[in-house]
Every structure is written in structure tokens, then in C-alpha cells.
Structure 1
Amino acid sequence: MTVILMLHTLLVITFTIRILLRDDLSPPVRLAWFIVLNVLPYFGSVIYFLFGETDLGNRADKRHREIFAEIRAKASWFMGEAANTEKLIEPVYRPAFRYAGSINGFHPSAGNTAELMSDGDETLSRMVADIDAAKDHVHVLYYIWIDDNTGHAIAEALIRAARRGVTCRAMADGLGSRAMINSALWQRMKEAGVHLAVALSLKHPIRTILTSRLDLRNHRKITVIDSRITYCGSRNSADPEFLVKAKYAPWVDIMLRFTGPVVVQNQLLFASDWMQATNQSLDCIVLSSQPVEGGFPAKVMGVGPTERHGATPQLFANLIACAQSELTLSTPYFVPDATVLEALCAAAHRGVAVSLIFPKVNDSWIVAAASRSYYHRLLDAGCIIHEFKGGLLHAKTLTIDGKISLIGSSNLDLRSFDLNYENNILLQDEATTLAITERQQSYINRSEVVDLPTVLAWHYHQRIWHNVIATIGPVL
């Protein structure tokens, strides 16, 4: 009994000291770990060892710095100039664009266009047509790549392109696309001449566990064709029926097809991941910029565990603070930190019409419970909450004042904030923002409003459950 007590005490003290020594943790996150370690010391110690640190290791951090130093040295003119923010962006929104530019050095460039895809079928047909028309190169990176109709069609298009001499590079996340990476289709792509790489490979899982953590993932969705076209949005290389979680289907995504200088910025973001996975230099990637007459200003924003901590919530807080009249946000996973939660409440309190759209049924019970723990605060502040009923709303969108849009792969949860590599495009354009706003309205039309009386009527055990999960959410 004495030995067990000593072991218990040693474990708690050791991990408590480690947690207290970490300056990157917020007080709520520390509190969550303290609760778990004291209530379940053995289980909690194992969980902290596996998932407590958000670090890919010194080697990955060093390589990341080297890659972006090379990109800045060889391709800084493609990244846009900081002065462009003052020239191209309306004064009230400049703070957010300045902050976005501080993350990894991408700044707004004029001359971009965007076309909102009507649905998943059009997205797939346009992507395949663009790949089939490629003359020089095609680069793709997907978190989830499934050998279903969509995933198979993209793979076959890459095979056709490679066989006619187009340089094709394809990357997939080692966890999210593990079935594809081990499939015959992946091997066929390799045999056809498609250059393949795995982002954050799990080839040596024990080493990953000992030096990092298994759930640090590349969540990006990037498609670039000939440096002329890029697709950005929430869709993986998978059908809306999403076979791996079919009972929540359809997955409702949003995708935009871009042309202009923002394409080469997305190309550089892809290149950073390719260089990290293959150890190749930037010289292997073809770069060119083709502005469109009369196009709007836009920039790429990439974040991840090797970027500045807190960059994503701070960007969202800056954008929310810029809103003057209206703000609409859709996300499948809403577990904000205090930075984002307070920004949303403050915007509503100062008279901004804040509309939030979440799925009514979520594929993550943790997220579903944690999300609802924030409803009372948001509704008290004056936010309007809609729960989407037509499948799992997977679209990640933010529109502000009918002028500013952010679209991409980032959710408003702790995974996107701390653990995942994400890619987004931030733009200023009334026509594009109107198109996205109309799509958001179509989500609202298929949703039910959650009002304050409904939340107050929740049974006490529901409220306790939501708040317990939110409290230990950083651990889960």
C-alpha cells in the first residue's frame, strides 16, 4: 500500500511540475490536466505522455525554419508585400490582414478571382477537368483521401496526367489517409509516375509516440494546377457520403476555385509540406504568378504545430473585432478558447449581428457536448445560434460585413488551434463574400434556431455533462 501511495504521489508531482513549467499552456488547460492527474493519476499520466505535448520535436522545428527561410530567400516576391495591406485593404479590416501576414509571411496581392462550386459533384468534375487540362504540374494534398468515387476519380486523373508527362505530386496525411496509402490505387499512382509523399508518416509509430504524438496531423486540403488554379475549402478527397462515417452523412462542404497570385501562395504552402516530407528543396517546384485584371486582394494563411502558438484563435479574434455590422460563421467543431469566445460575445454586445451555424448532430460526442456548454454565454450576449439538420455541416466559413471572407480547413476547436496543419484563404471582395453569404443562408434555411429559453430548459444533468466535458476538453 505504501509503495502504491508513493508511486501515486511521484506520478502526480512529476507531471504537475512538467505542466507548471510549460509557459505555452493557458490556466484552463493546466486546470484540466490537474483534474485528470489527480482523479486518475495512472491513466492521466499515460494520456499526458501520449497526448500532452504539442511538439513535433526539435528536428521538425529546425527543418520548418529552414524551409521558410529558403522560401523567403527564393520566392519572397510571390508572398506579397506587407505594404499591400495598406494599399489594398479597407482601413477597418487592416489590423486583421496585418496579423494574418505576421503568421508565416504571406501578404495580400491583388488580381484574384474566385468561383464558388455549387456542390460536391461540380467540385469533382471541375477538379478532374482542370487536372486533365494540366500542361506542367499538378500538386495535391489531402488530410483524408478515400478510394471512393471522388478519391478514385482524382487518383485516375493524376495517373492520366503523369502518363502524358505532367509532373504530379500527391501527398496524404499518414493517419487520415492510411487506408489509401496502403492501397493498390496508391501503388498504381506510383507506377504511373506520380510522385508520392506521406505527411506526418506513421511508419514508425513507436518513435512517434516517444518523440511527439500520434494525433498531430496535416489537416490541409490543397489542389494546385499549373500555378494557375487552386481549390480551397473544407472538402477532403472523399464523397459527401463519407464512407468512414456514413451514419452522419451527407458531409456538407464548401469549395472555391481561385485564380490569380493567391494560387502561387497556396503552391508555396504545399511546397513547405512537400519539402518537410521529402527533404527536397524549393527548386523542384515551378512557381509563377498570373494576376487577373480587376481581381480582388487575397492571401493564404497556413498554421500548424511548428508555427507560432495561438495564431489561429488570435487571427479569428482580430477578424471578429473588425466586424462593423454583421458576422456569420459556420464550423462543424466549435470548442473555442477564451480568446475567440470573448471576441464573439464582445462583437454581439457592441451591436454586430453575430450568426453561428453548427451541426445539430456531430460525429464527435466530445465536441457536441463541449460546444453546447458555450451556448448560454453566446445567447446572453446576443448571438444567434443555428443547428443544421441536413447532415454533418463540415463547411468552415467566416464572412464579415458583406466584404471579408475566410475559407479553408480551420475549425474553431483546440485541434485546429494547436495540433493540426491548416490552410485558409483570407480575401476582400463583395461578390465572393455575397456568394459565400448566400451559401451560409442556405445552411440557416436548413437549420433550427436554438434560443435562450431552450437552453435554460435543458435538464440539469445535460448542463452538468456539457460543462464537465468542456472543463476537461483540452485533455480529450
Structure 2
Amino acid sequence: MDVSLQVLIGYLLNLLLGLFIVFKERKNIKSTWLWLMILLYLPFVGFILYMFFGLNYRKRKTFDEKMMLDEQEKRLIEHQKKYIALSNSDSLNADQKDLINLCLSTSDSAFTDYNDIKFYFDGKDKFKDLFEDIKNAKEYIYVEYYIFKTDELGRELISLLNQKLKEGVEVRILVDAVGSRSIRKRHFIEFKRLGGEVDSFFPLFFSKFTTRFNYRNHRKIVVIDGKIAYSGGFNVGNEYINNDKKFGFWRDTHFRLEGDIVEEYLRRFNFDYRFATKIKTKGEFYKDHDIKTLSRMQLVTSGPDSMYESIKNVYLKMISTAKTRLWIQSPYFVPDESIFEAVRIAALSGVDVRIMIPDKPDHFFVYWATQSYVGQLLEDGVKVYEYGKGFLHAKQVVKDDDICTVGTANFDIRSFSLNFEANLIFYDKDTNALLSEQFLRDMEESKELTLDRYNQRSRVAKIKESITRLFSPML
């Protein structure tokens, strides 16, 4: 075939793909224009990039079955009744009631009241308690992590789970196929021989690579006997217990739960596990707990199988209703336009807006984009702090003194619309005060990024930020 004819065919295919994007993915105008520009200036490379990162039109088809199965087990009516009863409580203010209702409407998030919680800001403390709870398990242990490494910490966990299998405890592990791609199956030989189950979420089969690559399960959940649940930011790996030469101390936020909220984490694990394996687990929630502490919280989840960007909407609601303070911690701050403008408006309205990010990158592209966004916010009066003790991986937001949230979702477009995420919202002043105190302690380990210091960055840094910001819808 003549070379000129090959080029002509290539450009015609490029044109057809461009028209396809315009008509099929026109909801996000900026993203559509970005892909059109890529296809125009990088006609062949752009096509390959789109195949890997831009096939969002397949999302609904890919997750139709999961959405249908999840709907069958939702208890929306029961949740509505519980919310209606609690919404009349004088101890809930208007902002709290509005957010409770938003999460119920968009994520079927049960509002729970009687719970106990313990926070962890150091991975060593978290895994010490987790291992002890696993040792005391009697019926089942369900484990779900984005990253599960078979290094020293991972092998210690597997060894402990092997012992529980010998005792007759049911053990199931679900890991993300991309996040846990370094996992070594040989370390699970004994685990499987004893009856343990380990499965991958959305494995990347070659024929489905382009439709699965973007959608990752970023949740971290452990449920034990329906009595105890763990969730937050820590994965399984040596770096999370500060055994990493590159980052040193790993600053994250995780929590241990007992009470009504445990049922919601069990329900979420069951949905994810059934989607990945087609198997419905048998573990049940222990309803006869004796927790009497009034600690109100709500689990909100989101992902490409959701009709709404539920966690993003939670962030947006908290930002837009903040009156005195809004303190944000996130390793990645690459917001979409609605979140970015809401943060600006809050700061310009006199709200004490503080954003804490790491002072060192684990992903350079995202780090440069983050610098671009926070740099612009400095002009609006937002205070930005770069955490320097180690690597800041915590994802938490504190609003005024009445609402706060901690979980797995970063302040980026990937967490808002592509990843499967899970955040816990707290509606009490004690938790708010505790997380605020931790934020202030983290400030002592941070250096403020002032506007003067930001403006002194090198020309190379400015170019990097400008380029990565252009590609922020893809990050």
C-alpha cells in the first residue's frame, strides 16, 4: 500500500475517533477538547493514549451487572426511616442534616449512631492492633486492599492468616490487580492449601486491558467476625510501617471501628467481592454489640459504577458550607473546576482554608500538577503547608467544628470518578477536635509555602507545572 494512502487512512480514522468523542463524551467539555487536541497534534500516539485512558463510554456497560446486583441488596427504605427519625434530633445542625441526606440520596449511605472508633496516624500502631484482632478472630476475616505486597509485613500477615485457617476461621482476601501487581503467588501456596481464598479485582486480561486499566479498587477494608472493621489510608507493605529508605516516616490516617458502622463495611466488602468472584460471602454482622457511645458516622462510597460522584459531592458540600475553617490533607491535589472554584470562594469569603501536601513526590507528574493548583490558591488567601517529616498520605477534611471525613479518596479527578473509594464521615465535635489537633501537630512538621517562595521557583519548575496541568483531566 502506498505510504501516502496509509497516512490518509490514518487521518480519516483519527477524524472518526474525534467525532466519536464529541458525540459520545460531550458531558465533560474540557476533557473532550483535551482529547481532540491530542488527536490533532499526536494523531497516532493520541489514538493509543485514548485506548488506554479515554474509554469512559464503556463504563456503564462494564459495570451494569455490578450495579444491578448491588441494588438488589440495598436497604434504602430502612435507611430512609432511620434518617427521618434521627433528622428530628436537636443535636444535629442544618449542615449535618443536609450532608446526611445528600449521602443517603446519592450513595445509599446508612446513618449510624452507636459506634466506637480508634484512630491511627502511625502504621506500626495500626498493624499491631490489626494483628491482635486477627489472632482473636473466631468466624471470618475479610481483607480488601489496593496494595498488598508480599514483603516482610505482607508475609507476616499471610502467616498469621494461615494460622487462623488451621483453626477453622474463614479467610478471604481481595486485592486490586494493578495496585498489587508486585504480589508473589508463591507466598499464598500454603494459604490456598489450607482453604484460604485470594482474588484480584478487575484483572487485566489482554482482551479487556483498555476497558479495565482506568478503574481501580482503591479501598482498604478489613472486617473481622462482623464485630470489628478497619479502614483508611494504610495499605500492606513495609513502607507503611516506616521501613522505607525513600520516604522514611509514612504519615497516614486509619481507624478501627466497632458498632453499627461495621455492618456498612461488611456490606461494601460483600459487593466488591461478589463482583470480582461471583461468590457471595456468608459472614454476617454481629447485631448484639454493646456499644453505647453516641458517635454518629456515615460510610460513603463511590466509583465508576456509581450514578453520582458521591465522595466528590461530599467534599464539595463541606467546602461550600464551611463558615470558619476548612483544613484539607491530601497527597494529591488535582481538583476539577467545581472543587477548585469552591475552595477559592471559601477562602475569599474569609474561611480559614489550609491545605497540606507532601514536600516530596511519589508520582512526579501528579506532584507538579498539585504545585500548580495550590500555587494559584495562594493568591486567594489559602494557606499551604508542605509536610516534611516523611510522606503525607492522609486523606482527611475538617470543616468548622461539626463535620469531618477520613478515607481513601484523594483530591483528584481519578478519585472522584475512576477509582472505587470509601470515606467515613463523622458528625461529632470530639472527632473533629481530635483530627484538628493532629493537623496542628502535622503543621509543626511542615513548612509553609508562601506566595513569595512559590514565585521564586525555577523556570523549569514552571514549565513542568504548566504541562502537567494541561493533562490534569487524565491524571
TM range, smaller chain: over 0.9
Distance of aligned partners of 1:9 and 1:81 in 2 relative to their CA distance in 1, 3 Å threshold: farther
Report deviation, 1:230.
1.0
What is the distance in 1 between the residues matched to 2:381 and 2:94? 26
Tell me the equivalent position of 2:465: 466
1:84·1:107 contact (CA, 8 Å) conserved in 2? no
2:285 is matched with which residue: 275, 281, 287?
A: 287
Alpha-carbon distance in 2 for matches of 1:80, 1:263:
19
Q: C-alpha root-mean-square deviation of aligned residues, in Å?
A: 2.4
How many residue pairs get matched?
A: 470
Aligned ranges for residues 217-366 of structure 1 at < 5 Å?
217-240=216-239, 247-281=246-280, 284-289=282-287, 290=289, 292-366=291-365
Q: Structure 1 residues 368, 114: CA separation in 2 closer, same or farther (over 3 Å shift)?
A: same
Structure 1 CA distance, aligned partners of 2:111 and 2:138? 27
Q: Does residue 129 in structure 1 map to residue 132 in structure 2?
A: yes
In structure 2, the partner of 1:49 is 51
1:262·1:298 contact (CA, 8 Å) conserved in 2? yes
TM-score when normalising by structure 2: 0.92
Unpaired segments ≥5 residues, structure 2: none
The answer for the alignment partner of 2:170 in structure 1 is 167
Q: Alignment partner of 1:373: what SS?
A: helix
Q: Secondary structure at the match of 1:293?
A: coil
| CA–CA distance in structure 1, aligned partners of residues 151 and 138 of structure 2 | 26
Q: CA, structure 1 residues 382+309, in 2 after alignment: closer, same or farther (shift >3 Å)?
A: same
In the other structure, the counterpart of 1:12 is: 14
Provide structure 1 residue ranges, at least 5 long, that are not aligned to the other structure. Answer: none
Aligned partners of 1:403 and 1:428 also within 8 Å: yes
Offset at residue 471 of structure 1 (A): 1.1
Give CA-to-partner distance per residue, 1:334-359, whole Å, 9 cap, x none. Answer: 11001111111111111111110000
SS of aligned partner of 2:424: strand
Question: C-alpha displacement at 1:241, in angstroms?
Answer: 5.8
Name the residue aligned to 1:117: 120
1:445-456 equivalent positions in 2, closer than 5 A: 445-456=444-455
Q: Answer whether contact 1:68 1:272 (CA < 8 A) is retained.
A: yes
CA contact (8 A) 1:150 1:239 kept: yes
Residue 413 of structure 1 corresponds to: 412
Q: Residue type of the partner of 2:337?
A: A
Q: Is the 8 A contact 2:359 2:386 kept in 1?
A: yes
Aligned 8 A contact 1:234 1:253 in 2: yes
User: TM-score, normalising length from structure 1?
Assistant: 0.92
CA–CA separation in structure 1 for the residues paired with 2:232 and 2:309: 22
Aligned to 2:431: 432
Contact 1:140 1:170 in 2 (8 A): yes
In the alignment, which of 190, 195, 198 is matched to residue 197 of structure 2?
195
SS of residue paired to 2:355: strand
Residue 186 of structure 2 is matched in structure 1 by: 184
Contact 1:85 1:97 in 2 (8 A): no
Distance 1:274 1:193, change over 3 A: same
Name the counterpart of 2:388: 389
The equivalent of 1:380 in structure 2 is 379
User: Does 1:93 find its partner at 2:91?
Assistant: no
Contact 1:262–1:300 (8 Å) recurs in 2: yes
Deviations 1:177-207 (A, max 9, x none): 1332x422222221222222221123x2x12
Percent identity of paired positions between Structure 1 and Structure 2 = 24
Contact map agreement 1:405 1:427 (CA 8 A) in 2: yes
User: Structure 2 counterpart of 1:208, which letter?
Assistant: K
- The 8 Å contact of residues 169 and 194 in structure 1, kept in 2 or not, is answered as yes
Identify which range, 338-347 or 146-155, moves more after superposition.
Answer: 146-155
- Tell me by how many angstroms 1:41 deviates: 1.0
**Cα distance between partner residues in 2 of 1:60 and 1:80:** 33
**Structure 2 counterpart of 1:48, one-letter code:** Y
Query: Residue in 1 aligned with 2:23?
Result: 21
Distance, in Å, in 2 between the alignment partners of 1:224 and 1:387 is: 34
Q: Are the aligned partners of 1:233 and 1:409 in contact in 2 as well (CA < 8 Å)?
A: yes
Shift of 1:459: 3.8
Letter in 2 for 1:70: Q
Query: More displaced, 402-411 or 265-274?
Result: 402-411
Alignment partners' CA distance in 1, 2:73 and 2:178: 27
Does the 8 Å contact 1:54/1:305 carry over to 2?
Answer: no
| Stretch deviating more after TM superposition (122-131 or 320-329) | 320-329
Q: What is the CA–CA distance in structure 2 between the aligned matches of 1:39 and 1:245, rounded to whole Å?
A: 41
State the distance in 1 between where 2:242 and 2:293 align: 42
Q: Distance in 1 between matches of 2:154 and 2:434?
A: 27
Change in CA separation of 1:185 and 1:300 when aligned onto 2, cut-off 3 Å = same
Residue-by-residue CA offset, 1:99-133 (whole Å, 9 max, x unaligned): 22223211211101211125211111100000111
CA distance in 2 between counterparts of 1:403 and 1:263 reads 22
1:14 maps to amino acid: L
* Structure 1 contact 112–292 (Cα < 8 Å) conserved: yes
Deviates further, 410-419 or 24-33: 24-33
In 2, Cα distance between the equivalents of 1:288 and 1:276?
24
- Which residue does 2:107 correspond to in 1? 104
Secondary structure of 1:257 counterpart: strand
Contact 2:96 2:402 (8 Å CA) reproduced: no
Alpha-carbon spacing, 1:37–1:23, altered in 2? closer, same or farther (3 Å): closer
Q: 2:122·2:241 contact (CA, 8 Å) conserved in 1?
A: no
- Give the AA of the match of 2:447: E
Partners of 1:366 and 1:473 within 8 A in 2: no
Could you report, residue by residue, the CA deviation over 1:268-312 in whole angstroms, capped at 9, with x for unpaired residues? 000000110121236x23133336213211111111111125333
CA distance in 2, matches of 1:24, 1:194: 46
CA distance, structure 2, for counterparts of residue 242 and residue 4 of structure 1? 55
The alpha-carbon distance between structure 1 residues 143 and 246, as it changes in their structure 2 partners (threshold 3 A), is: farther
Q: SS where residue 17 of structure 1 aligns?
A: helix
Deviations 1:124-144 (A, max 9, x none): 110000011112211110010
Q: Which amino acid aligns with 1:285?
A: G
Task: Report whether the alignment pairs 1:371 with 2:370.
Answer: yes
Say whether 1:35 aligns with 2:34. Answer: no
Cα distance between partner residues in 2 of 1:345 and 1:150? 42
Check 1:222–1:436 CA distance in 2 against 1; reply closer, same or farther (3 A cut).
same
| Structure 2 CA distance for aligned equivalents of residues 272 and 24 of structure 1 | 31
Structure with higher RCO (Cα < 8 A, 6+ apart): 1
Cα distance per residue 1:212-235 (max 9 Å; x no partner)? 132321111001111111112100
Deviation at 1:92, TM superposition (A): 2.0
